[in-house]
Amino acid sequence: MGKIATFSKPLLFQSKLLCISLVYLFSALFFAAHFTFSATKCLFRWSPFDPVQAPLFSYPSSYGEHKHAIPTTRSSCDSPVYFSEYWKVLREMRRIGNDYGALRMRYMQGNNDRSFGGNLSVAKRFSYFDFRGDGIEVPCGFFIRFPISDYDRISMEMCDGLVVASAIFNDHDKIRQPRGVGSETLNSACFFMFVDDATLDRLHFHNMISKTSTESKIGAWRIVKVSSEQLYDDNPAMNGVIPKYLIHRLFPNSKYSIWIDAKLQLVVDPFLLIHSLVVKQNVDMAISRHPFFTHTMEEAMATARWKKWWNVNGIQLQMETYCEHGLQPWNSTKPYPTDVPDSALILRRHTLASNLFSCLMFSELDAFNHRDQLAFAFVRDKMKPQLKMNMFGVEVFEQVALEYRHNLKAGGASVGPKIKRALDSPDFLGNGKCDGYLSKMWGESHD
C-alpha cells in the first residue's frame, strides 16, 4: 500500500515571531538606507567603516575657531557624488603616483618627447609653457622668490603626492582642522598653511605656536611663515593668490593639489575628494559653481556694487578689455555649466593644461585685481589646449566644506578708500564696448 505524500510548510514560515522579526529587520534597513541618502543629499561612501581619525588638535577656548559659521539651506542635489572605499582609493592614488613618477623620471633625463617638455630645463619649464607646440612660450608670472625659509622650501619640494594648501594673511581667518581624515592620509598627503607676521603674532598670542621653532605644526597643518617685509603686494588677498594659483611652482613635484580658502573647513578626506571629483571624472581641474551668478558681467557688477574691490574704474577697464578680446556671456553651447566659479575650493591634477591655466590666471590677477571670478571665463575659454574641468554643484560644495565668516574686526575688513556705489553711476560700462555682451546676456540678441 503506497504512502500518501504530505507537504509541510518550511520552518521559516512556521514561526510567526520569526516572520515578524524579519519584516521588522528589512523595514529598518530600508528606512536606514533612505535616511542615509536623505541626510547626505550629495555624498555617498560605499563603506561606512572607513578609518576616520579623532579631532586633530585641541584649540584654546579663547581662539574661537568655530565662531561665525555660515548656515546652508539647500536640501537637494542634482548630481550626487559617490565616494569609493577609502583603502581602495588610497591604493589607486599611490599606483597613479608611481606611474607619474616614472614619467617624470623620463622628463628629468631629457626625453625628446615634447609632451614631457623636451630638453627644457626644469627651472625653465616651470617658468614658461610652449602650449601650442610652435615655439611661442607663455610666461608663468611670479618671477621673484616666494619669501619663505630654505627649510620650508625643501619640505615643499619633497611633497611628491597630494598637497592641501591654504593661507592666512593679515590675521583674516582662523586655522581650522580638516575632518573625516582617514588614518593613512596624514602620512600620504601634505598640509601646508602659509601665514604672515600678523597671523603668526595671533597664533603666538594664543600659545599655539613658537616663533623660534624651525618647523611648526598645528594639527594637520604645517605652518609656513612668509616674510611680511618681502611680500609680493600690499593687498593681503593678492598675496594669497600666489599659493592659490602658483601652487604647482611652490610644490613642483606634487601630482595633485587642493586649494582651500582659510574661511572653509574641509570635512571629507582629501583623497576621496580628488578621486571622485578629478580622477574618476578624468579632468584637469574641479571647482564649484557660483551659488548665484552665471555670467561674468553679473559678478563684475556685484563686485563693484558691494565694494569687493575698491577700484571701480579698474573693474570697468578689465571688463571692457575682455569684451574687446572676445569674452562672450555664458550660453548652452559652452561645454561648462557656468562662467562664474566659487573658487574657494580648487582641486587640480597637475597637468600641462592645469598648470598653464593657473599661470594665465595669475597673470590676469596680477594685471588687474585679485577677484579671480572676473578673469576665470576669459582665461578658460581662450586658452589652448582647452582645460578639462568639472564644475560641480553648489550643493556638493556645501557637503564637503563648512564655511565661516572672516575674522570680525573693528572698522570692518574693507581694502582701499571709500567709494560710491558703482551701479549708481551711469558711466559704469557705459561707453559701448560691452554692449554686445550685455545684450546677449539680457536676451536682446541671439547672434
The model's pLDDT over 130-168, given as tens digits with 9 standing for 90+, comes to: 333 444 455 665 545 788 999 999 999 999 999 999 999
- pLDDT confidence of residue 101: 62
pLDDT exceeds 90 at position 3: no
Residue 382 neighbours by CB distance under 10 Å: 13
pLDDT grade, residue 406 (50/70/90)? Answer: confident
Tell me: the pLDDT tens digits for 240-268?
Answer: 899 999 999 999 999 999 999 999 999 99
pLDDT grade, residue 295 (50/70/90)? Answer: very high
In whole angstroms, what is the distance from residue 324 CA to residue 253 CA?
38
pLDDT grade, residue 103 (50/70/90)? Answer: low
pLDDT grade, residue 11 (50/70/90)? Answer: low
More confident residue, 415 or 21: 21
pLDDT exceeds 50 at position 398: yes
pLDDT grade, residue 114 (50/70/90)? Answer: very low
- pTM for the model stands at 0.81
Domains of the chain: 81-294+330-416 (3.90.550)
- pLDDT confidence of residue 2: 55
Phi-psi label, residue 207: left if phi above 0, alpha if psi -120 to 50, beta otherwise: left
Q: What average pLDDT does the segment 433-443 reach?
A: 89
- pLDDT confidence of residue 327: 94
- pLDDT confidence of residue 106: 59
- pLDDT confidence of residue 220: 96
pLDDT exceeds 50 at position 121: no
More confident residue, 121 or 53: 53
- pLDDT confidence of residue 75: 65
pLDDT exceeds 60 at position 234: yes
Task: Give the cell for residue 179.
Answer: 575632518
pLDDT grade, residue 319 (50/70/90)? Answer: very high
CA atoms in the 13 A half-sphere facing the CB of 105: 6
More confident residue, 211 or 238: 238
Q: What average pLDDT does the segment 371-380 reach?
A: 95
- pLDDT confidence of residue 5: 53
Averaged confidence pLDDT in the chain: 80
Tell me: the pLDDT tens digits for 211-226?
Answer: 777 778 999 999 999 9
Task: Give the cell for residue 384.
Answer: 589652448
In whole angstroms, what is the distance from residue 136 CA to residue 128 CA?
9
In whole angstroms, what is the distance from residue 300 CA to residue 47 CA?
43
* CA trace torsion 307, 328, 141, 223 (10° rounding): 50
User: Distance of alpha carbon 310 from its chain centroid, rounded?
Assistant: 25
More confident residue, 35 or 411: 35
- pLDDT confidence of residue 280: 95
Phi-psi label, residue 246: left if phi above 0, alpha if psi -120 to 50, beta otherwise: alpha
Query: What sign results for the dihedral spanned by CA atoms 187, 191, 196, 200?
Result: negative
Q: What average pLDDT does the segment 174-188 reach?
A: 92
pLDDT grade, residue 46 (50/70/90)? Answer: low
Residue whose entry in the numeric block shows the C-alpha cell 597613479: 96
pLDDT exceeds 70 at position 391: yes
Tell me: the pLDDT tens digits for 62-78?
Answer: 887 777 778 877 767 77
